[in-house]
Amino acid sequence: MEFVFLLEQVVNGLVLGGYYLLIALGLSLIFSVGGVVNLAHGAFYALGAYAALEIRARLGFAPAVILSPVAVGVLGIAFERLLLRRFYRADPILSLLVTFGLAMVAEQAIRMIWGAAPLPVAIPAALKGPVMVGDFLFSRYRLLLLAIVVAVLAGIWFLLNRTAFGSVVRAGVQKPDMVAALGIRLQPYMTAIVVLGVGMAALGGALFAPITTVHPAMGAEIMTVAFVVVVIGGLGSFWGVVLAAVLVGVVRGLTIHFLPAAGEASMYVLMFLVLLLRPRGLLGERIEKFE
Amino acid sequence: MTDRKSTGGALDRRTTLKLGAAGLGAAAFGFPAIVRAQTDAIRIGHLTPMTGFLGALGGYAVLGIKMAEEEINQAGGVMGRPIQVISEDSINPDTAATKAQRMLDRDGAAFLMGEISSASALAISQVAARNKRLFLSIGARSDTLRGKSCNKYMFCVDIPNTVMVNAVGSALLRDNMVKGKRFVTLTADYVFGHDLLRAAKAFFAAHGGNLVGDELVATDVTDFSPYLLKIRQARPDVVCSNLAGNQVTNLIKQYAEFGLPYPIVGFNLNTADAWAAGEGNLSGTWPTVWYHTLDTPGSKAFVEKFVKKNGKPPENHAWIQYISLKLMAEAMNAAKSTDSETLGAYLEKGTQFDILKARKAYFRAWDHQLIQEAYPFTVKPKAQIKDKWDMLQLGAAVPNPDQPLESIYPTREQNPCSL
């Protein structure tokens, strides 16, 4: 019986990893392409949740999940064009300060617009409740979430590896000067990557609003986990982030099974071990390269 | 390897990442509020969490105390002087202690009040004792604050954990949900949760309940799925929440998401966290210190005024901060002093204060806690809910009107407080 319990935690951890992935992958993408750690990434996650809440009140759940990332993506265009763009080549401390400041401004803006108290959001009735697969218990809603994450992941991978757009981005990550010499402007690609990244974060917010507390500081909450996942996975490694997200989800589940009080600490211990044994991160040897 | 220069000038990605980590760390510290100087005003240092897992409650706390401040000043202040409440985000116990000391040293605060977090309240109470200044601990519920860690300069307003357990416990006993039943508890992993678990264990032991699992949950947990799987594996008769703040909301939402069949009860819930749970997610029996549908004239007038001002009904932390400042103003006026020793002596006298409930409340001299009524509540059936704030059905006050208020509080034998 004990083995089945553990297996159940492992499978649940995989599902949870998918959620971490939505946030961490965007963070990693923006870092690989622009060399900027976007500390405001969590703010876009929170905005995604709040936007979804507003759209859902008017149009319903499915339109909210689709339109919220689009709306936040548009905000991402402004963010990249007006702000982030100026810091790609600057001292990293500047971009960190700016995005950190922006995160605080966004959190306070949310507090001013929607109030400090958490807002109620429920799962649509049709998606609520458990699904039993053999003796395994799953949440119906999370299975849907997993399917969406897998679809998004496949889409991003395809975009980066099988399209002209992806070739330019990957070339730009490695040899921007060469890309420029070939007469290609990288700037629109940068914008697209940032839009993609913050859009994914917003999608995460929209999807997780019904099962977590929607409050102004929710962005700061998720930011730390996303950052840990990126560091464990290895900088700029697509599969590294995927692996790390899943690993963090599984390790957390198993730790909670044996030692519940250490559940949240487990990912930091994992990060510590990875940095100690393999400072580049799990798949970090292919640093700054997406494949 | 890539040519670094080409991607970002002087940028070294590892350095960037290190700085990123430092930035995230810095997010843990807050920024001080702007203090406006005002001569001859009586200044009161007010600390409460405004961010973090208790931040939502702190938002209500500030609204409540500001409303009391305005009313007191409109009515001529205290001893002819205006009062000025300096509110700051307490953030965590360390920062709370630092800010408390600064409020006394630099901002000229006569005394301190506030808090929701039991851990921060404990830290502030030590600062208060060292400086021999009064600290009115308003929203913290740990028994320890009134027991082992009580001190001469701290007075506690909110109901303690033992009273919350007793309030829900009486309802559970009535419904035959304790004796011989298997319980699993989820407990917030800090001083408040540990304390609540202790009170819950004492209750189960006294009434034949059987604790088959108890899980500690860190305060920053947002995903409860591994815990829910463990609960299902234990197959209890009743699930019992000793969580706090956002944790409760997250648990309730995800409990409904996974559709576990076991009834859930809890020994702590603030109404803001209940409101945030979303339609159809909350169930079970929970305790409260106050709810805005409470049917007393004073309470109704307060609610009406609050709604007019803020566009939403007050949460229990708004109410408790409001009555706390009101009773301190009353104490200062009656004692004709802002001196901590004098005020402390006045509160110890057992003066009856109107806290907008059916029965008046008073501070017990030997452990400095406010003795007052508490209530269990359940969730209203969907058809009876008038608006999104009206989801709870307040039960009858405990103790019964014919019993002394102290009957739900720990006795002198049970409470290891010596001032």
Give the gap in angstroms from C-alpha B184 to the nearest C-alpha of chain A.
13
DSSP assignment of B213-227, as one string?
EEEEE-TT----HHH
pLDDT at B16: 67
Tokens of B72: 């007191």
Q: Apex CA B52: angle with CA A249 and CA B65, to 5°?
A: 160
Partner-chain residue, chosen from B3, B246, B281, that has the shortest CB–CB distance to A215: B246
Q: Tell me the pLDDT tens digit for each residue of A227-246.
A: 999 999 987 788 999 999 99
Interface of A with B in 204-263 (CB under 8 A): 210-218, 220-224, 227, 231, 235-236, 252-253, 256-257, 260-261, 263
For the CA atoms of chain A, what is the radius of gyration? 19
Count CB atoms within 10 A of the CB of residue B205. 11
- pLDDT category, A32, cuts 50, 70, 90? confident
Closest among A175, A184, A267, A190 to A229, alpha carbons compared: A267
For the CA atoms of chain B, what is the radius of gyration? 22
Partner-chain residue, chosen from B6, B218, B226, that has the shortest CB–CB distance to A176: B6
Closest among A265, A268, A266, A270 to A282, alpha carbons compared: A270
CA B131, CA A197: separation in Å to the nearest integer? 51
Give the gap in angstroms from C-alpha A147 to the nearest C-alpha of chain B.
17
Specify the residue for token string 């692996």.
Answer: A243
Over 70: is that where the pLDDT of B5 sits? Answer: no
Least confident of B86-90, B129-133, B273-277: B273-277
Put simply, the answer to whether A120 touches B8 (Cβ < 8 Å) is no
Closest Cα in chain A to B21: A227
Closest among A162, A199, A250, A163 to A75, alpha carbons compared: A199
Over 90: is that where the pLDDT of A174 sits? Answer: no
The H helix count followed by the E strand count for chain B is 14, 14
- pLDDT category, B96, cuts 50, 70, 90? very high
Q: Give the torsion through C-alpha atoms of B273, B185, B222, A278, to 10 deg.
A: 160
Put simply, the answer to whether A173 touches B2 (Cβ < 8 Å) is yes
Closest Cα in chain A to B389: A120
In chain B, what residues touch A252 (CB-CB under 8 Å)?
226
Name the phi and psi angles at B381, rounded to 5.
-60, 145
Put simply, the answer to whether B257 touches A221 (Cβ < 8 Å) is no
In chain A, what residues touch B278 (CB-CB under 8 Å)?
120-123, 210
Q: What is the CATH number of domain B42-159+294-371?
A: 3.40.50.2300
Tokens of B156: 């506690």
Put simply, the answer to whether A211 touches B249 (Cβ < 8 Å) is no
Give the gap in angstroms from C-alpha A70 to the nearest C-alpha of chain B.
25
Average pLDDT, stretch B98-119?
96
CA B54, CA B60: separation in Å to the nearest integer? 10
Average pLDDT, stretch B366-386?
92
Name the phi and psi angles at A51, rounded to 5.
-65, -40
Closest Cα in chain A to B4: A174
In chain B, what residues touch A93 (CB-CB under 8 Å)?
19
Q: Tell me the pLDDT tens digit for each residue of A195-234.
A: 999 999 999 999 999 999 999 989 988 999 999 999 999 8
| CB neighbour list of residue A236: distance below 8 Å, 6 or more residues apart | A28, A31, A32, A173, A287, A288, A289, A290, B13
**Contact status, residue B217 vs residue B244, Cβ threshold 8 Å:** no
Closest among A166, A194, A156 to A73, alpha carbons compared: A194
Show me where the domains of chain B are located.
42-159+294-371, 162-288+375-408
Closest Cα in chain B to A212: B250
**Contact status, residue A41 vs residue A201, Cβ threshold 8 Å:** yes
| CB neighbour list of residue B97: distance below 8 Å, 6 or more residues apart | B123, B124, B126, B127
For chain A, percent helix, then strand, then coil, each to nearest 5?
75, 5, 20
| CB neighbour list of residue A212: distance below 8 Å, 6 or more residues apart | A218, B222, B223, B250, B253, B254
Return the SS3 of B234.
Answer: helix
**Contact status, residue B382 vs residue B134, Cβ threshold 8 Å:** no
Q: Compute the residue count for chain B.
A: 419
ipTM of the complex: 0.89
- For residue B46, give the DSSP letter: E
Over 90: is that where the pLDDT of A261 sits? Answer: no
Over 60: is that where the pLDDT of A289 sits? Answer: no
Give the gap in angstroms from C-alpha B53 to the nearest C-alpha of chain A.
9
**Contact status, residue A200 vs residue A25, Cβ threshold 8 Å:** yes
Put simply, the answer to whether A173 touches B15 (Cβ < 8 Å) is no
CA B18, CA A280: separation in Å to the nearest integer? 13
CA A20, CA A16: separation in Å to the nearest integer? 7
CA B196, CA B168: separation in Å to the nearest integer? 13
Put simply, the answer to whether A211 touches B254 (Cβ < 8 Å) is yes
Partner-chain residue, chosen from B14, B19, B59, that has the shortest CB–CB distance to A93: B19
Q: Tell me the pLDDT tens digit for each residue of A124-168.
A: 988 888 988 887 888 999 999 999 999 999 999 999 999 999 999
CA B336, CA A107: separation in Å to the nearest integer? 43
CA A25, CA A242: separation in Å to the nearest integer? 8
Q: Tell me the pLDDT tens digit for each residue of B13-38.
A: 666 667 666 666 555 444 444 444 45
Question: E strands, B256-390, where?
Answer: 264-266, 286-288, 362-363, 370-371, 375-379
Put simply, the answer to whether A211 touches B229 (Cβ < 8 Å) is no
Closest Cα in chain A to B10: A91
CA B91, CA B29: separation in Å to the nearest integer? 7
Instruction: List b or e across B222-235, with b for residues whose CB sees 16 or more CB atoms inside 10 angstroms.
Output: bbbbbbbbbbbbee
Partner-chain residue, chosen from B13, B217, B260, that has the shortest CB–CB distance to A235: B13
Q: Which CATH architecture has domain B162-288+375-408?
A: 3-Layer(aba) Sandwich (3.40)
Tokens of B358: 């059916």
> CA separation (Å) from A249 to A65, A259, B127, B133?
23, 15, 41, 47
Tokens of A158: 């395809």
- For residue A130, give the DSSP letter: E
Put simply, the answer to whether B56 touches A215 (Cβ < 8 Å) is yes
Closest among B4, B6, B24 to A37, alpha carbons compared: B24
Partner-chain residue, chosen from A175, A227, A263, that has the shortest CB–CB distance to B226: A263
**Contact status, residue A152 vs residue A145, Cβ threshold 8 Å:** no
Q: Tell me the pLDDT tens digit for each residue of B265-314.
A: 999 998 888 899 887 889 899 999 999 999 999 999 999 999 999 999 99
In chain A, what residues touch B318 (CB-CB under 8 Å)?
none
**Contact status, residue B55 vs residue B315, Cβ threshold 8 Å:** no
Q: Tell me the pLDDT tens digit for each residue of B25-71.
A: 555 444 444 444 456 899 999 999 998 888 889 999 999 999 999 99
Over 90: is that where the pLDDT of B327 sits? Answer: yes
| CB neighbour list of residue B116: distance below 8 Å, 6 or more residues apart | B48, B49, B54, B57, B58, B61, B138, B139, B140, B317
Return the SS3 of B64.
Answer: helix
CA A249, CA A13: separation in Å to the nearest integer? 4
Partner-chain residue, chosen from B15, B258, B272, that has the shortest CB–CB distance to A118: B272
In chain B, what residues touch A289 (CB-CB under 8 Å)?
2
Closest Cα in chain A to B282: A122
Over 50: is that where the pLDDT of A12 sits? Answer: yes
Over 80: is that where the pLDDT of A91 sits? Answer: yes
> CA separation (Å) from A146 to A77, A140, A204, A207, B199?
27, 10, 11, 10, 40
A278 touches chain B (CB under 8 A): no
Interface size A-B, in CB pairs within 8 Å, comes to 206
pLDDT at B19: 67
Give the gap in angstroms from C-alpha B202 to the nearest C-alpha of chain A.
22
Average pLDDT, stretch B401-408?
92
- pLDDT category, B6, cuts 50, 70, 90? very low
Closest Cα in chain A to B50: A116
Closest among A170, A153, A188 to A77, alpha carbons compared: A188
CA B414, CA B326: separation in Å to the nearest integer? 31
Tokens of A72: 């936040």
Partner-chain residue, chosen from A104, A118, A227, that has the shortest CB–CB distance to B20: A227
* Shared fold status for B42-159+294-371 and B162-288+375-408: yes
pLDDT at A1: 62
A144 touches chain B (CB under 8 A): no
What's the maximum distance between 2 C-alpha atoms anywhere in chain B?
A: 82
Interface of A with B in 158-197 (CB under 8 A): 173-177
Average pLDDT, stretch A15-41?
91
